[in-house]
Amino acid sequence: MRVATWNVNGLRARQDFLLRWLAERRPDVVALQELKLEDGLFPSAELEAVGYRALCHGQKSWNGVAILSREPAEPLQVGLPGQEALGARLLAARVGGVHAVSVYVPNGKSVGHEDFPRKLAWLECLAGWVEQHRGEPLVVGGDFNVCPTGLDSWDEERLHGRIFHTDEERARFARLLEIGLVDLFRAQHPSLRAFSWWDYRAGAFHRGHGLRIDFLLASERVAKRLRAAEIDRDWRKKQDGLTPSDHAPVWADLEPAAG
């Protein structure tokens, strides 16, 4: 079973890119973020034509999350309870023997911005929600807008204490791991410096100035089935003239569930 997450940075702009990636990688379940469209504009028919069903929690121009799957999915949660004011940022569904969750954590903008404490509160609510569902076979995929450690940043020395690199953000991410979630990429690659996001500006991608802020986190019972996990760095590059997202997809392969 292949599960994946991808912040597409605008689905309308990235639709053909997404369809190409789906045909190439053939994931079974995909968590998408930053759709930037309302539910009525979601390209369900185009995705069904290539074998994917979709659940969507959209929003005009901003945010938006979705779950794509080869099998029918049963909705479990639409929106993070108590955090609706920050937009369409969480969607959960039961599919393929897992509870798939797509999350798009608020950016926070800067440490001194009023959005920063809202980001911290959102992460606290997410941890509370995960704790309530800790006994389930969770796969939480998304853009967390946090570099958990210095290994996940291209310049920890310079950036420590800035947005994505603060002790406050890292403590809240660490809480998810304390509850029992496992970072699948890091479980597979304990010491590899690799990134999932690069700014469009200043040649950041080619200069290696990136951050690892996109994650597949799984409950321990799911993580035990892990076979492989990768960041699809090549899909941060243009494909036949198609402009990529500023995020790369992240995917993991799981052994079939026992029984």
Q: Cβ(228)–Cβ(184) under 8 Å?
A: no
Give, in order, the Cα–Cα distances in Å from 206 to each of 31, 32, 78, 200, 246.
26, 25, 37, 10, 12
pLDDT digits (tens, 9 = 90+) for 58-112: 999 999 999 999 999 999 999 999 999 999 999 999 999 999 999 999 999 999 9
46: enclosing H helix or E strand:
helix 44-48
Domain boundaries, the chain: 2-254
Summarize pLDDT for 97-152 with one digit per residue, the tens.
Answer: 999 999 999 999 999 999 999 999 999 999 999 999 999 999 999 999 999 999 99
Provide the pLDDT confidence category of residue 26 given band limits of 50, 70 and 90. Answer: very high
The pTM of this model reads 0.98
Q: Tell me the average pLDDT across 184-211.
A: 98
H/E element, 254: strand 250-254
**In the predicted structure, residue 21 carries a pLDDT above the cut 80:** yes
The catalytic residue among 39, 52, 115, 143 is 143
Question: How many angstroms separate the CA atoms of 81 and 90, rounded?
Answer: 9
Amino acid 179 reads I
The pLDDT value recorded for residue 259 is: 62
pLDDT, average across residues 8-36: 98
Q: What is the pLDDT of residues 153-181, one digit of tens each?
A: 999 999 999 999 999 999 999 999 999 99
| Res 258: pLDDT | 78
Sequence-separated (6 or more) residues with CB below 8 Å from residue 217: 138, 139, 140, 141, 176, 177, 181, 182, 183, 184
**Percentage of residues of the chain with pLDDT beyond 90:** 99
Query: Residue 187: is its pLDDT beyond 70?
Result: yes
The predicted model gives 179-202 an average pLDDT of 98
143 catalytic residue (yes or no): yes
Token pair for 257: 């569930």
Termini Cα distance of the chain: 15
Q: What is the pLDDT of residue 19?
A: 98
CATH class of 2-254: alpha beta
Q: Is 76 exposed, middle or buried (0-12, 13-18, 19+ CB in 10 A)?
A: middle
Helix, strand, coil shares of the chain, percent, nearest 5, are 30, 30, 40
The model's confidence at residue 257, banded by pLDDT at 50, 70 and 90, is confident
Active site residue 52: no
Amino acid found at 158: R
Write out pLDDT tens, residues 203-239.
Answer: 999 999 999 999 999 999 999 999 999 999 999 999 9
Given the residues 28, 52, 104, 214, select the one marked as catalytic. Answer: 104
Residue 172's CB is within 10 A of a number of other CB atoms, namely: 21
What's residue 133's pLDDT?
A: 97
